């Protein structure tokens, strides 16, 4: 089964992924990590990003400085769209290739894809089921401040660019509330896995 996992920033998707990997032996792919690979100097997206954003986004070693790039795209919707048009199709194609490989190599294991733009990029077409991970806004804000050092302004800017809770709920097959205990989270994951196999 191919499971797509999505949700707003700070909802704790990485925590859910770690449980699925460790306790349920799922094969996990994170779109953001694959994007990072593709943005390396030897990666597929590197030349196109440089062409659009210029060399001022580079670090001294020639790699893309993600904070510099992030600063540009989160304050300019047009630039964000340009970046997404370069990176997202390449990430999706890479994920599809890896799914085919993993299904051939380890057909008995579930594959989990995590992507913030899972619905916008129509990953539902390559997933058997889509799960929405959510936490209350206050919890998400606290996590982002404590774990990533985000300011209120940055949190507001990122959240503004994401889908609403209503849209996530309407388009996902299973909903996991991620501000409870690990035990409760495991129960919810088990329930969603069971539902996906029916």
pLDDT at 189 over 80: yes
pLDDT at 47 over 80: yes
Name the pairing type of β-strands 129-134 and 111-114.
unpaired
d(CA 103, CA 2): 9
pLDDT at 169 over 80: yes
Instruction: Give the pLDDT of residue 163.
Output: 86
pLDDT at 62 over 80: yes
What percent of the chain is predicted at pLDDT more than 90? 68
Across the strands, what pairs with 28? 112
Instruction: Give the pLDDT of residue 121.
Output: 87
Q: Whole-model pTM? A: 0.86
Kindly report, residue by residue over 16-36, the tens digit of the pLDDT. Answer: 999 999 999 999 999 999 999
pLDDT at 160 over 90: no
Q: Which of 179, 174, 187, 123 has the alpha carbon at shortest distance from 10? A: 179
Q: Are 61 and 31 contacting, i.e. CB atoms less than 8 angstroms apart?
A: no
């Amino acid at each position: 089964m191919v499971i797509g996992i999505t949700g707003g920033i700070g909802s704790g998707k990485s925590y859910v992924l770690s449980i699925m990997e460790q306790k349920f032996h799922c094969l996990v792919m994170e779109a953001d990590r694959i994007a990072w690979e593709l943005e390396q100097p030897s990666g597929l997206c590197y030349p196109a990003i440089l062409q659009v954003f210029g060399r001022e986004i580079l670090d001294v070693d020639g790699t893309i400085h993600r904070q510099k790039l992030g600063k540009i795209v989160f304050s300019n919707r047009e630039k964000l769209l340009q970046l997404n048009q370069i990176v997202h199709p390449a990430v999706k194609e890479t994920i599809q290739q890896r799914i085919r490989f993993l299904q051939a190599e380890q057909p008995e294991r579930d594959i989990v894809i995590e992507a913030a733009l899972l619905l916008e990029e129509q990953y539902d077409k390559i997933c058997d089921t889509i799960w929405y991970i959510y936490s209350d806004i206050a919890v998400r804000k606290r996590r982002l401040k404590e774990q990533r050092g985000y300011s209120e302004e940055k949190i507001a800017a990122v959240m503004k660019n994401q889908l609403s809770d209503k849209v996530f709920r309407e388009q996902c097959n299973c909903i996991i509330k991620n501000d409870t205990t690990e035990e409760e989270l495991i129960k919810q994951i088990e329930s969603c896995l069971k539902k996906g196999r029916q």
